[in-house]
C-alpha cells in the first residue's frame, strides 16, 4: 500500500533546514573568505563614484568559495545601490554552463535588462543594440558575472563584444567578473581578451581541514536539529575532504548525504558510520557528474585511460608489488589510445599540446592522478593512473557518446 505525503513528512528526521546545507546556499558570513570578498568589493567600488570598475578574473579549484563570495558581494552591491547611491548600477549573473555561447550570454543580459522584451528569434546584432540602448538610456553601470566562463564556446568573441561596447557607449559602462575552475584557463585566451579580462585577478586557495571543520560546524548548527550530529563526524568529513581536494561543495554533499542515511536508518544521530557510507555514495555521484559534464575530448582521453586500465597487458608496472594501485600508464600510450578512440567516435584528434591540457583538467577534477617518471625509465614521461573504477568510467562515457551520436 502506497504511503501518503503526510505519513512521509511525519517521519522523524535529523534535519532542521536542508536548504542551509545546500552548496548553493550563500550564508550571511563566509568564513575564511573575508580577504577575497574585500578585494571584489574594492574592485566594484568605482561604480559608486560613477566610474567603470576594472574587469576581474577569479580562479581556483571547485569548492573554494568563488561563486558564493561573488554572489555575496553582488547582494551587498545591489543593496547599497538601492539604499544609498544615486548611480544606476546592475549586476547580471550568468551561469556559462547553461549560457555557453556569445549569443546566449548577450540574450540573457538583454532579457535581464528588458524583461518585457521577447528576445526569442532576435539576431545577435539586434540584441546587442538593444542592450547598449538600455545602458545608455539609464546611464547604467552594468556588471556581468560570467561563472564557469571557460565553458563559453566562442569566448574570445564574447569578451571582445562586451569590452568593445564601452567604446560605443556615450554613457554608462560594461564590466566583467570572470570565474573559472581552471588555473591555466587564461593561457588559452587570445592576448587581447587576456589583457581586457585579467585587469584584476586573484586565486582562491583550497580550504584546510580546520577551515572545513568550522564551515561544516556553521552549516550543521543551522541545518540539523540540536545534537543530531556528533563533532567527530564533522571532523571526519573535514579530514576526508581536505585529503581529497579541499572542496567545500564535496564536504557539504557528504554532510547532507550522511543526514539522509541517518534518516533512512531511523537514527537520531549522525556518526562516523554514516559518514563512511555517505562517502561511497557521494564519490560515485561526483564521478558521474564530473564525467558527464566534460567536453567531448576530455571524455575521450578519460575513455582511453579506462580502456588501457582494463587491459592489463598494456599497463606499465612500477615496482614489484602486485596491487592494482601500483599500475600506471605512460602518457605516450594513453595519447596513442586516445587517437584510436577519437577516430572510432568520428572526432578529429587534437594535438599533443591540447592533450596535455586535457590531462591537467582531468587531474584537477580528481578523475586521474599523474606523477613524473623516475630515473628508472628512459627519458622523462608523465605516468597516469585513473581515479575511479575503469569499468564504471567506460560505461558512463560510452553511454554519453551513444546518446550524442544517436542525436546527430
Residue extents of the structural domains in the chain:
5-17+207-291, 34-203, 294-407
In angstroms, the CA 171 to CA 205 distance is 37
In angstroms, the CA 76 to CA 72 distance is 7
Q: Residue 375: its pLDDT value, please?
A: 54
CA dist 126 to 71, 110, 129, 145, Å? 29, 10, 5, 22
Q: Residue 288: its pLDDT value, please?
A: 84
**Closest listed residue to residue 57, CA positions, set 150, 159, 163, 180:** 180
Q: Residue 89: its pLDDT value, please?
A: 94
**Closest listed residue to residue 238, CA positions, set 228, 248, 225, 224:** 248
CA dist 265 to 259, 273, 284, 291, 373, Å? 10, 12, 21, 31, 47
Question: Please, what are the averages of pLDDT over each run of 10 residues along the chain (408 residues)?
Answer: 76 94 91 96 94 92 93 94 87 93 95 84 91 96 95 90 92 95 76 75 93 96 95 96 89 96 94 94 83 89 93 50 60 94 92 91 85 64 87 88 57
Do 328 and 316 meet the contact criterion of CB atoms below 8 Å apart? yes
DSSP 55: P
In angstroms, the CA 80 to CA 139 distance is 18
Helix/strand/coil for 137: helix
What number of other Cβ atoms are within 10 A of residue 149's Cβ? 27
What CATH number labels 294-407?
1.10.10.10
Q: Residue 318: its pLDDT value, please?
A: 44
Where would I find the beta strands (DSSP E) of 318-403? Answer: 327-330, 368-372, 382-386
Q: 169: which residues sit within 8 A by CB, 6+ positions away?
A: 132, 135, 136
In angstroms, the CA 148 to CA 179 distance is 5
In angstroms, the CA 85 to CA 149 distance is 30
Q: Residue 198: its pLDDT value, please?
A: 67
Q: Which CATH architecture has domain 34-203?
A: 3-Layer(aba) Sandwich (3.40)
Do 65 and 215 meet the contact criterion of CB atoms below 8 Å apart? no
CATH 3.40.50.360, applies to 5-17+207-291: no
In our burial notation (b when 16+ CB lie closer than 10 A, e otherwise), range 95-125 reads: ebeebbbbbbbbbbbbbbbeeeeebeebeee
β-partners of residue 144 are 92, 176
Amino acid at each position: 500500500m502506497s504511503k501518503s505525503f503526510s505519513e512521509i513528512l511525519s517521519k522523524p528526521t535529523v534535519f532542521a533546514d536542508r536548504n542551509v546545507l545546500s552548496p548553493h546556499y550563500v550564508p550571511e558570513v563566509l568564513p575564511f573568505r573575508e580577504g577575497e570578498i574585500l578585494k571584489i568589493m574594492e574592485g566594484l567600488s568605482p561604480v559608486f563614484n560613477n566610474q567603470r570598475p576594472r574587469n576581474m578574473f577569479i580562479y581556483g579549484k571547485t569548492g573554494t568559495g568563488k561563486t558564493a563570495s561573488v554572489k555575496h558581494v553582488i547582494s551587498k552591491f545591489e543593496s547599497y545601490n538601492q539604499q544609498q547611491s544615486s548611480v544606476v548600477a546592475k549586476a547580471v549573473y550568468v551561469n556559462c554552463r547553461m549560457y555557453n555561447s556569445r549569443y546566449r550570454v548577450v540574450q540573457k543580459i538583454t532579457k535581464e535588462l528588458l524583461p518585457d522584451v521577447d528576445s526569442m528569434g532576435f539576431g545577435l546584432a539586434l540584441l546587442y543594440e538593444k542592450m547598449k540602448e538600455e545602458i545608455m538610456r539609464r546611464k547604467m553601470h552594468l556588471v556581468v558575472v560570467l561563472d564557469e566562463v571557460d565553458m563559453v564556446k566562442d569566448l574570445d568573441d564574447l569578451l571582445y563584444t562586451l569590452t568593445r561596447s564601452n567604446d560605443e557607449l556615450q554613457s554608462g559602462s560594461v564590466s566583467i567578473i570572470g570565474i573559472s575552475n581552471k588555473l591555466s584557463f587564461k593561457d588559452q585566451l587570445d592576448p587581447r581578451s587576456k589583457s581586457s579580462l585579467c585587469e584584476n585577478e586573484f586565486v582562491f586557495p583550497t580550504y584546510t581541514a580546520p577551515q572545513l571543520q568550522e564551515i561544516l560546524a556553521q552549516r550543521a548548527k543551522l541545518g540539523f536539529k540540536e545534537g543530531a550530529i556528533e563533532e567527530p563526524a564533522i571532523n571526519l568529513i573535514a579530514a576526508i575532504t581536505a585529503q581529497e581536494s579541499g572542496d567545500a561543495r564535496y564536504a557539504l554533499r557528504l554532510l547532507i548525504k550522511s543526514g539522509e542515511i541517518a534518516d533512512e536508518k531511523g537514527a537520531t544521530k549522525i556518526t562516523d558510520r554514516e559518514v563512511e557510507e555517505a562517502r561511497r555514495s557521494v564519490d560515485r555521484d561526483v564521478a558521474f557528474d564530473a564525467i558527464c559534464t566534460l567536453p567531448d575530448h576530455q571524455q575521450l582521453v578519460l575513455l582511453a585511460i579506462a580502456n588501457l586500465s582494463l587491459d592489463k597487458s598494456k599497463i606499465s608496472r612500477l615496482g614489484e608489488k602486485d596491487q592494482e594501485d601500483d599500475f600506471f600508464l605512460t602518457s605516450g600510450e594513453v595519447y596513442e589510445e586516445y587517437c584510436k578512440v577519437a577516430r572510432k567516435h568520428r572526432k578529429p584528434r587534437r594535438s599533443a599540446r591540447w592533450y596535455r591540457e586535457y590531462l591537467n583538467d582531468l587531474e584537477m577534477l580528481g578523475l586521474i592522478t599523474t606523477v613524473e617518471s623516475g630515473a628508472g625509465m628512459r627519458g622523462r614521461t608523465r605516468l597516469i593512473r585513473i581515479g575511479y573504477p575503469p569499468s564504471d568510467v567506460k560505461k558512463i562515457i560510452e553511454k554519453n557518446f551513444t546518446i550524442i551520436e544517436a542525436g546527430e
